[in-house]
Amino acid sequence: MSYDIIFSWLQATLRWSAPLLLVAVGEIFSERSGIINMGIEGIMLCGALCGIAASFYSQNILVAVLATIALGAIMGLAVAYLTVSRRTNQVVTGLMVNMLATGATNLLFAMMSETRSTRVGTFPIIFPQAMQKIPVLGEIFFCQPISTWIAFILPFIAAVVLYKTKWGLNVRAVGDHPQAVATAGLSVIKIKYQAVICSGIFAALGGCVLTLGEVGYFASGGMTGGRGFIVMAAVVVGGWDPLRTAIACIIFGAADAAQLRLQGMGSVIPYQFLQMLPYLITVVALTGMVKSSHVPKTWGAAYDPDSH
């Protein structure tokens, strides 16, 4: 294998990991508060289409990001209302969101026929050409769009927020001891809402980065390819910790980039088996590491304010 292929694989690893890191940051806060937002796959899919549509019609990447944030907040609010206020089953709610998102994006994309033959503008590369031509480092790091750099910085920021700020402490306390939080005079429901809306925003942004990070187009049917569910597995493998979860996301990104490179090289292995590689690695990681994970005590359980 030539060095060019290795450098290309490393560059693609960072790029394919970026959407996962964004989605994972939001999901960690949601699950730390006790709410499993299984709808992140559907929200990510909607964010991917929203980014493309907003970028196409506005011709402005910033407008696309703001529109995606607004969409993610609205969808996160809907999930929060159902799971927190109405106390619906979180798994069923998430599956419902995913199915509705699949149908809605297929319908809307079919109606936007003009976007299907046009590649929209993508996130810019912030480093100058001279830095991009630096051997090894330039090819791997300095050719990345700004979205990749932001995605890799976010887990560190999330760790600080989760462990070093009052709000992060409240989120963790709500996930472990909601009754104690309520006794202290804080609103458990408000904190859960904030965490779930946060997960909706980052899930939508992850979808936006998936389409606007490099490719600049949307493909109906399987644009996200189950990446939302992979993120949920990464969060469990990472023990609901931002930095360890980031490592799990990077491993999946590396496997995804590898299978794409192997297909391009004309591997004798059937492409269907190569496409299984990232998901197989995720299953192996789950079975090997999940036992050591510290599960939030009210993970997946509905909060009843009248129970104390």
Match 């980014």 to its residue by tokens.
51
Q: Give pLDDT, residue 45.
A: 96
In order of 3, 8, 144, the CA distances from 135 in angstroms are 11, 12, 15
**Who wins on pLDDT, 212 or 286?**
212
Alpha carbons 99 and 90: distance in angstroms, whole number: 14
281: pLDDT strictly greater than 70: yes
Q: Which two tokens stand for residue 119?
A: 């590649």
Q: Give pLDDT, residue 189.
A: 96
291: pLDDT strictly greater than 60: no
Q: Give pLDDT, residue 255.
A: 85
123: pLDDT strictly greater than 70: yes
Q: Give pLDDT, residue 105.
A: 93
272: pLDDT strictly greater than 80: no
266: pLDDT strictly greater than 70: no
Residues with Cβ within 8 Å of 78's Cβ and at least 6 positions away in sequence, in order, are 97
Q: Give pLDDT, residue 82.
A: 97
Q: Give pLDDT, residue 274.
A: 67
CA dihedral over 15, 21, 23, 26, signed as positive or negative: negative
**Using N-to-C axis directions, what is the helix angle for 61-80 and 40-58, rounded to 10°?**
150
In order of 85, 97, 98, 134, the CA distances from 79 in angstroms are 10, 8, 11, 46
Helices (H) and strands (E) in the chain — how many of each? 13, 0
Q: Give pLDDT, residue 52.
A: 93
Rg over alpha carbons for the chain, rounded to the nearest Å, is 20
Strand partners, 125: 145
Q: Give pLDDT, residue 290.
A: 56
Give the pLDDT mean for 70-90.
Answer: 97
CA dihedral over 219, 273, 1, 140, signed as positive or negative: positive
163: pLDDT strictly greater than 60: yes
Q: Give pLDDT, residue 114.
A: 73
171: nearest Cα among 71, 290, 20, 25: 25
240: pLDDT strictly greater than 60: yes
Strand partners, 145: 125
Mean confidence (pLDDT) of the chain: 89
Match 């149908």 to its residue by tokens.
103
**Who wins on pLDDT, 138 or 85?**
85
In order of 4, 32, 151, 173, 230, the CA distances from 88 in angstroms are 51, 18, 32, 22, 23
Q: Give pLDDT, residue 265.
A: 66
Q: How confident is the model at residue 96 (pLDDT cuts 50, 70, 90)?
A: very high
**Who wins on pLDDT, 119 or 301?**
301
304: pLDDT strictly greater than 90: no
15: nearest Cα among 224, 209, 247, 207: 209
Residues 206-223: pLDDT tens digits? 999 999 987 888 887 678
Alpha carbons 28 and 233: distance in angstroms, whole number: 11
264: pLDDT strictly greater than 80: no
User: How do the domains of the chain map onto residue ranges?
Assistant: 3-119+129-223
